[in-house]
Amino acid sequence: MSNASSSRPGSGDPGAVAPLLPLWIALPVAALAGGVLNLAFPAPSVWGCSFLAVALLLVALIGRRTWAALLVGAVYGIVFSVVLVSWTGTYLGPIPWLALGILEGALTAVGCIPIALAYRWLPALVPASILRAFVTAVVVAALWIARELLLGTWPYGGFPWARIALTMSPTAAADATSWIGISGLGFAMVLIVALAVEAFRGVLGRRRVLPIAALSGAALLAALLVVAPAFPTATAGTMRIGAVQGNGPTGYFDHREPGAVLSAQWDASQPLLDENVDLIVWPEGGIDGDPFQNAALSRTLDRLTSAVGAPLLGNAATETDGRYFNTSFLWPLDGPALPARDEAQTHAKRHPVPFGEYVPDRDFYAAIVPDLIGLIQREYTPGADAPTVDVSGTVVGLAICFDVIYDEVIQEGIDAGAQVLVFQTNNADFRGTAENLQQLAIARMRAVETGRSVVNISTVGTSQIIRPDGTTQASVDADRPGALLDDVELRTGATAGVVFGPILEQILLWGGLLSVVVAGLCQALRRRSSRG
C-alpha cells in the first residue's frame, strides 16, 4: 500500500494522493462493499454491516481518477442495487429488476466521482494534516448524501429506497432522525466511517496524532448518536384504530373474481363489528372498484361503516375527467348514498410508480419491451391534494405505498397538523420477498423521525401499529388475514428533524459540491503555476 499523503509519481497533479489499492483489487473490494451493505437492510438487518460497507467503498475510491472512480462506483452500485431490489423480479421477471438495479448502479457510479475527486484534490487545499483529515471526512460524508439525493429525485421522481440511514431503523441511533432527519443521520454515519478511514491513512503515513484525533472524533460522534434521546413531541390523547389486512388477491397476476378483494377485506373486518372503534383503515388496493361511481360498492361501504360505527379510511383506483388516481379517501359514517369524489376527503398518491402505475416515455419503452409495457394499460396521474384527512377533529397524515420514502409527503402531513400517520400499501406482487420488511423498516424510521404513531397496513402484510419510539404495538404476520385494533397515541408538535432536516440536506448537498469545485479550481491553479 502507498503512503496516504504521497503524490502519484509522474502524475503532474500536485498534492494528489495515490490509491490505497490497485484497481484490480479495488474492483472486487467495491463488489464486496455492495454485497455487505445488503446485509444491513432487511431481512438480515445486520446494521453494523453498513459501516463496514462504507469503509470498503471509500478505501476503494481513494486516489482514483474520474474513469476509475466511475468503474469502482459502478461495480459497487450495481451489485448493491441488483441484490437489494431483487424482489422486483419475483413476479414481473428479470427485465424490470435488472433495469432498475443497473440504472441505480449507474447513478451511484456518477455519484462516486465527486467523492474520489475530494480525496484527490482536498489535500492540496488544506495542508495541515489533522484539519485536512476532518475537512476531507466532512466533505466526503456530505457528498455521500448528495449522491443519495440524486437517486432520490431523478429520473422520474427518483427512488430514495436505499438511504444508508435506513439501516439504523432497529437501533437507538434512529432517534437522531428526530433531530437531524434521515439525511442528517446518514451524514453522521458516513462521517464516522470517513474519520476512521482517515485514521487508517494516518497509520499508513506513520503519523501519531492524526489517528488518535480522527478516531476520537468518530467515537464522540458515535456516542452522541447512541445516547441522544428522541426530540420531544406532546401527547394529545388516543384514537382507537382498527386496521384490516384482508390477504386478498391484489397482485397483478393474481386470479380473482369480481369483488374478491372487497370480500376478503370485509371478512377480515368482522372482528371489529362489536368493538368501540374511531377509525377503520383498509390498505391500498383494498377495494376493487370506484365507490364514487359504483352504487353497489358504495352501499357496501355504507353497511361496513354503519356496522362498525366508524368512518373508513379506504383506497381505490378512481377516475375523474378521464384521469385515473390511486386514491385514499375517508368514507363517512353517515354520508350520502353515492358521494361525489370532489366532495369527499381524499388524497391521491403523489408519486405513482414508474413502469408499475404509469409508463413514462411510453412509445420509447414500448419499442424495447412491448409485452411488458402492454401489461400497464391504466396510467395513474400524480395527486396534488394534501396528504391528510380530518377524522372528527383529529388530523391523520397519509402516505400511499412507496410514497412513504419521499420526505416531502411526510413533512407536508406533519406541517398540516397530522397527529398520527397511516401508511396504506399493497405488497401482493412481492409476496415471499424482503420488500415488505424493507418498507416496514422505513415506516418505523418515519415514526421516530416525526414523533408520531404509525399504522402501516398492507393487503398481505406485514402490517403493524408502531409507537412514536419505533417499537411495535401490534402486528399481523404476512400472508394471513387479520385485524389490528388498539388505542393509538396521538402526538402534536414538529420535531427538529422535520423542520430543519430539509435545510440540512441543502447545506450538505451544496456544501459538498461547492467544496469539490473550489478544490478543483485551486488544483488547476496550482498545476498551472507549477508549469510556469
CATH number at residue 486: 3.60.110.10
Domains in the chain: how many in total? 2
Residues 397 and 469 in one domain: yes
pLDDT tens digits for 344-374?
899 999 999 888 788 888 888 888 888 777 7
Residue 6 has pLDDT above 50, yes or no: no
Residues 280 and 413 in one domain: yes
Residues 487 and 511 in one domain: no
Q: Which of 226-235, 350-359, 465-474, 499-508 has the lowest mean pLDDT?
A: 350-359
At 313, which helix (H) or strand (E)? Answer: strand 312-320
pLDDT of residue 16: 58
- Which residue range(s) make up the domain with 257? 234-351+387-494
* Backbone φ, ψ for residue 303 (5° rounding): -65, -40
381 assigned to some structural domain = no
403 assigned to some structural domain = yes
Of the candidates 64, 17, 50, 77, the one whose C-alpha atom is nearest the C-alpha of residue 193 is 50
pTM for the predicted model, two decimal places: 0.93
pLDDT tens digits for 108-162?
999 999 999 999 999 888 877 899 999 999 999 999 999 999 999 988 889 999 9
Please state, rounded to an integer, the average pLDDT across all residues of the chain: 92
16 assigned to some structural domain = no
Residues 264 and 141 in one domain: no
Which of the four pLDDT bands, split at 50, 70 and 90, describes residue 90? Answer: confident
Residues 210 and 264 in one domain: no
356 assigned to some structural domain = no
pLDDT of residue 338: 67
pLDDT tens digits for 236-255?
999 999 999 999 988 876 77
Residues 207 and 247 in one domain: no
Residues 320 and 445 in one domain: yes
Residues 408 and 515 in one domain: no
198 assigned to some structural domain = yes
Residues 260 and 309 in one domain: yes
Residues 118 and 165 in one domain: yes
Residue 14 has pLDDT above 80, yes or no: no
Residues 215 and 269 in one domain: no
Q: Which of 216-220, 292-296, 323-327, 338-342 has the lowest mean pLDDT?
A: 338-342
| Rounded percentage of the chain residues whose pLDDT exceeds 70 | 95
Residues 282 and 426 in one domain: yes
5 assigned to some structural domain = no
304 assigned to some structural domain = yes
358 assigned to some structural domain = no
pLDDT of residue 279: 98
- CA of 514: how far to CAs of 40, 132, 193, 456, in Å? 31, 16, 22, 40
Which of the four pLDDT bands, split at 50, 70 and 90, describes residue 487? Answer: very high
